[in-house]
Structure 1
Amino acid sequence: MKFRQALLALAAGAMLAATPVQAAQLSIVSGDTGNGLQVLREILDQFEKKTGNKVNIVPMPSSTTDQFGQYKLWLAAGNSDVDVYQTDVIWAPQLSNQLVDLTEATKDVVAAHFPSIIESQTVNGKLIALPIFTDAPALYYRKDLLDKYGAQVPKTWDEMAKTAKMIMDKEREAGNKDMWGFVFQGNAYEGLTCDALEWIKSNGGGQIIEPDGTISVNNPQAAKALEMAKSWIGTISPPGVLAYQEEESRGVWQTGNAVFMRNWPYAYSLGNGEDSPIKGKFDVAPLPAGSGEGARSAATLGGWNLAVSKYSKNPDVAIELVKWIASPEMQKYRVLKTSNIPTIQALYDDPEIAKAQPIIPRWKEVFLNAVPRPSAPTKVKYNEVSSQFWTAVHKTLSGEGSAADNLADLEVSLTKLQGAGW
């Protein structure tokens, strides 16, 4: 009898061993620009081949404002259909309560990343998201056109505007009626907060809200910076720029119809693509400085990370996926395909990357001028702060009131928001 029971037990064990472990089905939500989603799919295909698990991409609009709004709805509803979220650098404090603490699971890999980026994703001692690439914008310029007209790469916004107007006028006289001087992100969304923060900071006007919580945006330097940008509309920038996000700006630029562009690193590899009319004709430089006391170059710090939802049905596999996408191998794969800036320090010394994407080592100069958005002092209220800021800026650019009046109104609104607690 005992022998028969032993045989049955062995048979049952063999059956269990022969039963394949069911593959996990995961979903990752991501909004991206350029060829970002395509490259993510290629990275996921490699993960699927290695692990046997399946990963579906839930695509989102490229607008970070729209993405964040949808994320909040899904997380508030306890949605278990999404396992992994691709998150902006500013979102960690606002979403932390509904995301998995990755501290323990990633302790073997975090040291490879820039410490400041890991710190930006740490809330109350918990690592909320693991970085996959970082971001800071630059000034893209048509080096062929600057050479043609004997112009220098501008160091200040005033120089940029004068050079843009001169080349734009001459190119139009030569027959290119579609040429503009400068394109940027002028739509009323998070991208405008980034652009306008750069104008204000570079002109010595502060950071909207300082690290200690002081509301600083209502000052003469900030007003001057916004009036400067307002003067570009219809002169060196198309009136339609007030509706541009990243891709609309790139569309004008990459068809060869702009002298200068403010944009993120992803536009570099696309501009040098085989089918690009401007391949080999452009380069990048740090964004221009403003004028007056405290003037400097300023580039808004960006970047994207991966977080695991607390409502995921497969959190362990989701964490494995996050570590895979954030790994040195996959960051290298991404940078070679997209020119996204890696967060793994060692990759800046990788000769293959330096050869294929010479922009990467040079982007360190841009990062020296990086300035954070005020998400740390405003915490969960950051999105309301940013919305009020970009609204005031957009009104100014559109000719609805002066910069001074709009910033004075903004200060009142921000003071009320601060009084309610952030």
Structure 2
Amino acid sequence: MHINKASGLGITVFAAGLLAGAVHAATLTISCGAVGSELQLCEEGTKLWSEKTGHKVELVSTPNSSTERLSLYQQLLSARSKDIDVFQIDVVWPGLLAPHLLDLKPHFEALESQHFESLITNNTVDGRLVAMPWFTDAGVLYYRSDLLEKYQLEVPSTWEELTQTAQHVQEQERAAGQAQFWGFVWQGRAYEGLTCDALEWIYSYNGGTIVDADGKVTINNPGAISALEMAASWVNTISPPGVLSYAEEESRGVFQSGNALFMRNWPYAWSLGQSDGSPIRGKIGVTALPKGGEDGRPAGTLGGWQLAVSQYSENAELAVDLVRFLTSYDEQKRRALIGSYNPTLPALYEDTEVLDLVPFFGELYETFLNGVPRPSSVTGNSYGRVSNATFNAVHSVLSGSQSAEKAVQELESQLNRMSRRGW
């Protein structure tokens, strides 16, 4: 399979000189995402490594949709393609891609303990460390602090409060001439991002994690039904009808243009909202996502991305060195300061420079540390199908084509059939 490399964007980096003793400069390829400032930061990071080592790096363009990207990776790796040396992989993919990835444990034993233990565990499959943590994530709630202050309203702690607040401010802003203003934007497209959003809603209503840690399907319960009914009530009331086709960047586009009060997104959106020229610079707050009613609990889905080396790489040792550099303290700090990407090193959450620039890293440390995991570990190779069934069922509720009660019943049956065949 031919892959278009993002040359011509200044991404291929030529070093000023070769390392002493090196015979020639090798060329590595790495797949990096392009959501927010990901591509820019990856380009800068690989350039720093190139200048240090004398080797070249090319960035390979891949789909922004994590669902589409996984499909591409599976095609490439199944074909034992040498097109990509280093893969950026989602936190839920180690179990799916492990057979094709190099064991990094021998190369990182002294460094493993510096990262969040939960992420090292997540990336270890059958005793093999198949990826190193690069940045972590959990879903958070963004809000317009200036508008809450204008209308003398508190930051909501429950989804019910958020709904009421969003409705009130939306009505007031529209009456004042902001015809395109909405109360709440989020990710409603039928893709992995909707599984993340749905898990937050369901867990916050004490509805579990779709499949529990023992592999039991738990989706059919009153909490899950209440959560999905609540979310469906937002569409075309406090959320635009188009939210059903939104991913992260579409949501950010509406919020950052000043046309929404609340947004569910990942931490990367902070630095972009606070950037020069942003209409909402200095008017943003970030907090934990709401709980489902007074008896619920806040939940942010655990996200984040890792770096893995392909078993089919012709420059595996160099690829390992690139991963070591990109996941290091200095490079993760640079990414936190420039792009507000959450480090995977606990020590950086005590770094005063980082906390001064991204204060909510400290305030929401527990949210990031205790993010709610998707049921990827327990469902293993079946996780892709589990998520696909989940986001399609949830989307059917949001679009009004199916009731929440019927959707969770059918999803339960689907997942049980998968379970009987063996996760």
Structure 2-normalised TM-score? 0.94
**Given the alignment, which residue of 282, 285, 304 partners 2:284?**
282
Structure 1 residue 265 corresponds to structure 2 residue 267: yes
Aligned 8 A contact 2:140 2:267 in 1 = yes
Alignment of 1:3-402 (within 5 A): 20-291=22-293, 293=295, 295-367=296-368, 370-402=371-403
Q: Secondary structure at the match of 1:370?
A: coil
Equivalent residues of 1:269, 1:339 under 8 A apart: yes
**Distance in 2 (alpha carbons) for counterparts of 1:327 and 1:43:** 11
CA–CA separation in structure 2 for the residues paired with 1:90 and 1:368: 16
Give the counterpart letter for 2:356 in structure 1. K
Could you tell me which runs of 5 or more consecutive residues in structure 1 were left unpaired when the two chains were aligned: 1-16
Contact conserved, 1:300 with 1:373, CA < 8 A, in 2? yes
Distance (Å, rounded) in 2 between the aligned partners of 1:106 and 1:352: 27
For the residues of structure 2 that align with 1:18 and 1:146, how far apart are their CA atoms? 59
- Distance of 2:328 and 2:402 partners within structure 1: 49
Instruction: Say whether the 8 Å CA contact 1:183–1:258 is kept in structure 2.
Output: yes
Please say if residues 31 and 67 of structure 1, whose CA atoms lie closer than 8 Å, have aligned partners that are also in contact.
Answer: no
Q: Tell whether the 8 Å contact from 2:287 to 2:360 is kept in structure 1 after alignment.
A: no
1:7 equivalent in structure 2: none
User: Letter of the aligned partner of 1:132 in structure 2?
Assistant: W
Judged with a 3 Å threshold, the aligned counterparts in structure 2 of structure 1 residues 343 and 369 are, in CA distance, closer, same or farther, namely: closer
- Residues in 1 aligned to 2:161 and 2:236: alpha-carbon distance in whole angstroms: 18
Q: How many residues align?
A: 405
Structure 2: unaligned runs, 5 residues or longer: 1-18
Separation of aligned partners in 2, 1:292 and 1:262:
20
Question: Does the 8 Å contact 1:85/1:307 carry over to 2?
Answer: yes
Q: Work out the CA distance in 2 between the residues paired with 1:21 and 1:107.
A: 29
Structure 1 residue 367: Cα displacement: 2.5
* Runs of 4+ with deviation above 6 angstroms: none
Q: Is the 8 A contact 2:144 2:284 kept in 1?
A: yes
Q: Deviations over 1:223-256 (max 9, x none)?
A: 1110110000000000000000000000000000
What percent of counterpart residues are identical?
50
- Kindly provide the CA deviation profile for residues 354-407 of structure 1, in whole angstroms up to 9, marking residues without a partner as x: 222222222303225521000011000000000000000000000111011111
Q: Is the 8 A contact 1:286 1:365 kept in 2?
A: no
Once residues 54 and 264 of structure 1 are traced to their aligned partners in structure 2, the CA distance between those partners, rounded to angstroms, is 31
- Normalised by the length of structure 1, the TM-score is 0.94
Give the Cα separation in 1 of the matches to 2:319 and 2:20: 25
8 Å contact from structure 1 (residues 29, 84) kept in 2:
yes
Whether the 8 Å CA contact 2:88–2:305 is kept in 1: the answer is: yes
- Classify the secondary structure of the residue corresponding to 2:164: helix
CA contact (8 A) 1:88 1:303 kept: yes
Partner secondary structure for residue 283 of structure 1: strand
1:118-168 per-residue CA deviation (whole Å, 9 max, x = no partner) reads 111001111010011100011101010000001000000000000000000
